[in-house]
């Protein structure tokens, strides 16, 4: 029976076991997906042991997404570029293959929720410059976006992303975040602001066009203050839960041999 799981610390809050568990049950696959609480100092040891215990792969989450790159035998180009991996495949020869599917999940979610979305319709504006923002930048560049505007409270992190990802990026000062939205076709909150128990994102939306698509990586709550206001302004909105669901699909397919569907049933099972 193939086993997979999610490695992190803490791990109790992770929705991945529900998500993969739902798919295993729906498709009648004999397999298990379990939460694996692992301390950073034990990560290397656990990785050596898991394949011998019947694991075919794993997801990796906070705080291991960056450290895992140094422990894997193969790292995909996009994981190397992003500087983090979230999906591991344990190959029959014992080698560990590390990939990052966050950017794929980001784009697949928008394409499913807003099929009319065109990445090259105009500039994209990204708020935030953490690990999640890096995956979003990589995937938008791949999708053919011509200009990516980026802002972050700590400006140097945005400058660093521009230095790594190149000429299509334009850094805006945090105080200019509202102006950055002027003419943007795609707007993304990649900060943790708006999450339950945190402050809302306070960016003035006056410059936002009703033609733009606004998406938030925060999915608890599903309707963040940003999405509520963007909807009031007539924008197309896409919530962040779908990205979580879509980023999980490539791993499930590799481990359990079936491409899983992402639909309302799954959203209900995970919420």
Among residues 50, 81, 88, 132, which is the contact residue for ligand ATR, using CB under 6 A? 132
Residue 90 vs 172, nearer CB to ligand ATR: 172
Q: Is the dihedral of CA 118, 122, 127, 131 positive or negative?
A: positive
Task: Please report whether residue 128 would count as binding ligand ATR according to CB under 6 A.
Answer: yes
173 annotated binding-site participant:
no
Residue 5 vs 131, nearer CB to ligand ATR: 131
Residue 48 vs 199, nearer CB to ligand ATR: 199
Task: Please report whether residue 193 would count as binding ligand ATR according to CB under 6 A.
Answer: yes
Task: Please report whether residue 137 would count as binding ligand ATR according to CB under 6 A.
Answer: no
Which of these segments, 3-11, 70-78, 92-100, 126-134, binds ligand ATR (CB under 6 A)?
Answer: 126-134
Cβ neighbors of 269 (< 8 A, separation 6 or more) are 18, 19, 22
Q: At closest approach, how far in Å is the CB of 128 from ligand ATR?
A: 4
Task: Please report whether residue 260 would count as binding ligand ATR according to CB under 6 A.
Answer: no
220 annotated binding-site participant:
no
156 annotated binding-site participant:
yes
Rounded-to-integer distance, Cα 37 and Cα 9, Å: 5
Distances (CA, A) of 39 to 61, 119, 261, 270: 12, 39, 32, 26
- Token representation of residue 83: 């500087």
Site for ligand ATR in 152-191 (CB under 6 A): 152-154, 157, 190-191
Task: Please report whether residue 130 would count as binding ligand ATR according to CB under 6 A.
Answer: yes
59 annotated binding-site participant:
no
Question: 186: part of which helix (H) or strand (E)?
Answer: strand 186-189
- Token representation of residue 116: 């009319």
Rounded-to-integer distance, Cα 23 and Cα 252, Å: 8
Do 246 and 270 touch, CB atoms closer than 8 A? no
Among residues 7, 38, 129, 270, which is the contact residue for ligand ATR, using CB under 6 A? 129
Do 30 and 1 touch, CB atoms closer than 8 A? yes
Site for ligand ATR in 140-159 (CB under 6 A): 152-154, 157
228 annotated binding-site participant:
no
Residue 65 vs 236, nearer CB to ligand ATR: 65
Q: Is the dihedral of CA 53, 57, 60, 66 positive or negative?
A: positive
**Residue nearest to ligand ATR according to CB distances in the complex:** 130
Centre a 10 Å sphere on the Cβ of residue 30 and count the other Cβ atoms it contains. 8
Task: Please report whether residue 31 would count as binding ligand ATR according to CB under 6 A.
Answer: no
Do 49 and 3 touch, CB atoms closer than 8 A? no
Classify residue 210 by burial, with Cβ atoms within 10 Å: 0-12, 13-18, 19+. exposed
Q: What is the largest CA-CA distance in the chain?
A: 56
Residues annotated as catalytic are 65
Site for ligand ATR in 199-238 (CB under 6 A): 199
Half-sphere exposure of 89 (CA within 13 A, CB side): 19
Q: Which residues are annotated as a binding site for shikimate?
A: 14-16, 61, 86, 102, 219, 247
Point out which residues bind ligand ATR (CB under 6 A).
128-133, 152-154, 157, 190-193, 199
Q: Which residues are annotated as a binding site?
A: 14-16, 61, 77, 86, 102, 128-132, 152-157, 217, 219, 240, 247
């Amino acid at each position: 029976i193939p086993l997979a799981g999610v490695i992190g610390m803490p791990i109790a809050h992770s929705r991945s076991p529900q998500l993969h568990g739902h798919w295993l049950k729906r498709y009648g696959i004999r397999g298990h997906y379990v939460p694996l609480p692992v301390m950073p100092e034990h990560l290397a040891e656990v990785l050596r042991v898991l394949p011998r215990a019947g694991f075919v792969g794993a997801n990796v989450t906070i705080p291991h997404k960056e450290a895992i790159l140094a422990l894997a035998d193969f790292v995909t180009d996009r994981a190397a570029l992003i500087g983090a991996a979230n999906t591991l495949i344990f190959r029959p020869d014992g080698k560990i293959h590390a990939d990052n599917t966050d950017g794929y999940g980001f784009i697949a979610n928008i394409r499913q929720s807003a099929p009319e979305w065109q990445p090259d319709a105009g500039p994209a504006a990204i708020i935030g410059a953490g690990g999640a923002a890096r995956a979003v930048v990589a995937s938008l560049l791949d999708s053919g976006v011509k200009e990516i505007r980026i802002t972050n409270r700590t400006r140097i992190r945005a400058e660093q992303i521009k230095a790594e990802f190149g000429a299509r990026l334009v850094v805006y000062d945090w105080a200019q975040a509202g102006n950055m939205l002027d003419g943007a076709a795609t707007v993304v909150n990649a900060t943790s602001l708006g999450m339950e128990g945190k402050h809302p994102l306070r960016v003035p939306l006056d410059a936002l066009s009703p033609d733009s698509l606004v998406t938030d990586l925060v999915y608890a709550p599903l309707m963040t203050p940003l999405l509520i206001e963007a909807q009031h302004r007539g924008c197309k909105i896409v919530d962040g839960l779908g990205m979580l669901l879509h980023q999980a699909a490539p791993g499930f397919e590799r481990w359990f041999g079936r491409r899983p569907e992402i639909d309302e049933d799954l959203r209900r099972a995970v919420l």
